[in-house]
Structure 1
């Protein structure tokens, strides 16, 4: 379409009935010429340009109907993973962003005309759309979606690329369900994997198609071992996150655990819970054990004498003067008697020479202060 020339696509395709009239006339002329004595050669020769005019009119009408149909629904774009990878590899330094066309003044004029017209004059008719979907020329899955931005392009959409350095650092894909947001994100992810870029993907909806494409792409490049997948709903195939592996101080660990507990109206209970968990993680660390939620929960569910006995036996075994008591404590069953022995022994024999804030914090939660009375 030339500059300042308007494409009147909203009109009725009068070329189609004209094509039919020319076709019927040409057929009648050919039949008369073949079966009648009205100038055999003349009528047959006359039918040739008539057929040609019919074909020209049909092509013109079909072109208009095809343009209207593409405003309603475009063919489904089916693409294999191998083809998608080749598109990303086609131009080094560029990334494939999808199929499309260059938007110019012509498309702007068409879009303005389209939006200013009633939808009924832009529709080619349900019968025509039915046959297009039947032959795979329009989408069979979403025939009612408006695809006018794609249809305005006239020509078949081609792969579009941009320089990798010009990619948006932040992008948002918006649209209703089924409009292709997930597939667009998948295209970008495959491109990043082809360029061997690290990817961190958060997918709360758990799109299985995207995950399968990611795994298949990495497998084609022999990098599937670098795929780490986390999903609480798929524990058998998911990696596990250790929430207590990295921390600056044990107080941070206690705070993390308390924050995932059900909310409490009484702030006093929350403070006591924090002190109890802090004492537990201190004791576990003192014994050289790795902190896990399972171990912390085990200590919380047990009577506090359980942890006092274990920590006491471990701590006493480090010093020569209390090694025998450590064996005695270790051999005793879990009870307040064993825990009281630990507290008494610590304050009587170790507090002055080998003090331990961890043990004293644990004793404070245990609630038994067995300090020997101070003589004065």
Structure 2
């Protein structure tokens, strides 16, 4: 059985030390003033001094425990020191210096809270936090946890200024030094966090693998296409529809908008054109006639070797006439034997009453306008063949497969709605990539998000 002594009591040992020292001093000083032999007083003084020394270790130990309650000096490590420390903890994540919370610390904290930490140590008026926690252990050592225990999710909780960002610095730097792909999604936008991630890339010997996205600094930001990765075209429509405001899960306007986007995306893929936010907005605002014409020509050419586009469209006066001629040809010659759900969906959109269609997609348009207006247009809907835009073009799959360290600032403090929408789209794409890795991935490299 382990004996437990409450260290938060009064320092009775110090009182005993002072008492025996005073008694020794009195006996030694008054040895010549009594009728007794002075040697007896000096011997008593020596014995009193020995008694004081016997009580001194306990008094100093208790005093040190109380002094530890005032906290310890905050220390920092450089990136180079962190790299050296990481080498010592292969296969582990170094969390810093501290102590493991066990039953002894729980009992000490319980007893201290009953006494009141403020009775044993001064409370700082300039810093936050319970500094007395550091006094619950006599020493602090390196703390590390196996990387396998952190697979999945890690939750970090703390009030403002508690050190969450510095902990993220520590986690990010070690992931970079391990050679992993790192994706940092920062809602607020912390410049120091971004700079530290870039510094870690330089230390790891791969400064070219750092990429940064921030809507507030479009001229210094890379371009990211949040619709570049998908398994089925319906995924893209679902990602954007999830951003639409809805009072109930069965909102007909939301369902109609999702269906319209799904038809447009399928049509773009049919004509071998990559869908993006700008194209969706263009066809929803301006009409799908041009896309319907291109899709019909493409599909008819694929399935009918005798299809003569020039002869069929030679009598058409305008784009509307060309579309109508193609629709008649598709329905009479192609659809009976080789119908296409993509073409049928686009034709239905084309024939839908325009005013009613505009009303049904009215709740969708603010989302698309928000994500395509101003500098956000080329940032989130990049044109890879634009020679006038020298900014890097990044896709989430490229960032992961090529081992990039990507800092993605959402600037939610300045524009919370746009920041939230961008974050939702990027996380939805990451979810799609995770599903692809889960289903088909072989020897997947670790990715820290």
Give the alignment's TM-score, normalised by structure 2: 0.55
Structure 2 match to 1:295: 279
Query: 306, 319, 323: which one pairs with 2:309?
Result: 323
Q: Which residue of 1 aligns with 2:264?
A: 280
Provide Cα deviations, 1:80-121, integer angstroms capped at 9, x if missing partner: 222222222234455422112477887666545423313443
SS at match of 1:72: coil
Q: What do residues 32-74 of structure 1 show as CA deviations (whole Å, max 9, x unaligned)?
A: xxxxxxxxxxxxxxxxxxxxxxxx9999999866653431332
Q: 1:296 to 1:8 in 2, by over 3 A?
A: closer
Cα 1:58–1:81, aligned 2, differ >3 Å: closer, same or farther?
farther
1:75-224 aligned at under 5 Å gives the runs: 75-101=73-99, 110-123=108-121, 142=127, 145-155=129-139, 157-162=140-145, 164=147, 171-224=154-207
Within 5 Å, give how 1:349-368 maps onto structure 2.
Answer: 356-367=340-351
**Does the CA contact (< 8 Å) of 1:95 and 1:163 recur in 2?**
yes
What per-residue deviation string (whole Å, max 9, x for no partner) do you get for residues 160-196 of structure 1?
3455556686543333222223323332333333333
Query: Deviations along 1:178-224, whole A, 9 cap, x unmatched?
Result: 22233233323333333334445444344433333222112211234
8 Å CA contact retained: 1:314, 1:326 = no
Cα distance change, pair 10–106 in 1 and its aligned pair in 2 (3 A): farther
Q: Answer yes or no: is 1:246 the counterpart of 2:244.
A: no
User: Does the aligned pair in 1 maintain the 2:292–2:346 contact within 8 Å?
Assistant: yes
Is the contact made by 1:9 and 1:68 (CA closer than 8 Å) also made in structure 2? no
Distance 1:270 1:218, change over 3 A: closer
Q: Distance in 2 between matches of 1:260 and 1:183?
A: 32
Offset of residue 10 of structure 1: 4.1
The 8 Å contact of residues 212 and 222 in structure 2, kept in 1 or not, is answered as yes
Partners of 1:162 and 1:271 in 2: CA distance: 46
Offset at 1:150? 0.8
Unpaired runs of 5+ in structure 1? 26-55, 130-139, 369-376
For the 8 Å contact 1:9–1:122, the answer to whether it is kept is: no
Q: Find the counterpart in structure 2 of residue 34 from structure 1.
A: none
1:264-296 Cα shifts (integer Å, max 9, x gaps): 889554454444334323332232212222212
Closer, same or farther: CA 14–239 of 1 in aligned 2, 3 Å = farther
Deviation at residue 122 of structure 1 after TM alignment? 0.5
- Per the normalisation by structure 1, the TM-score is 0.63
CA shift digits 1:309-336 (9 cap, x unpaired):
4444555667555232467489x654x3
CA distance in 2, matches of 1:117, 1:289: 71
Aligned counterpart, 1:31 = none
Task: Tell me the distance in 1 between the aligned counterparts of 2:315 and 2:126.
Answer: 73
Q: SS at the partner of 2:94?
A: strand
Deviation at 1:240, TM superposition (A): 1.1
- Shift of the 112–308 alpha-carbon distance from structure 1 to 2, 3 Å rule, reads closer
- The answer to whether the 8 Å contact 1:10/1:122 transfers is no
Give 5+ residue unaligned stretches, structure 2. Answer: 26-52, 353-449
Cα pair 1:316 1:326 within 8 Å, conserved: no
- Count of aligned residue pairs for this structure pair: 319
CA RMSD of aligned residues (A): 4.7
State the SS of the aligned residue for 1:359: helix
Q: Looking at both structures, which has the greater relative contact order when contacts are Cα pairs under 8 Å and sequence separation is at least 6?
A: 2
Q: Which has the larger radius of gyration?
A: 1
Does the Cα contact within 8 Å between 2:244 and 2:254 map onto a contact in 1?
Answer: no
Measure the CA separation in 2 of the matches of 1:12 and 1:355. 94
Residues 162 and 351 of structure 1: CA distance in aligned 2, closer, same or farther (over 3 Å): closer
Secondary structure of the corresponding residue to residue 159 of structure 1? strand
Give distance in 1, aligned partners of 2:315 and 2:229.
31
3-state SS, counterpart of residue 69 of structure 2: helix
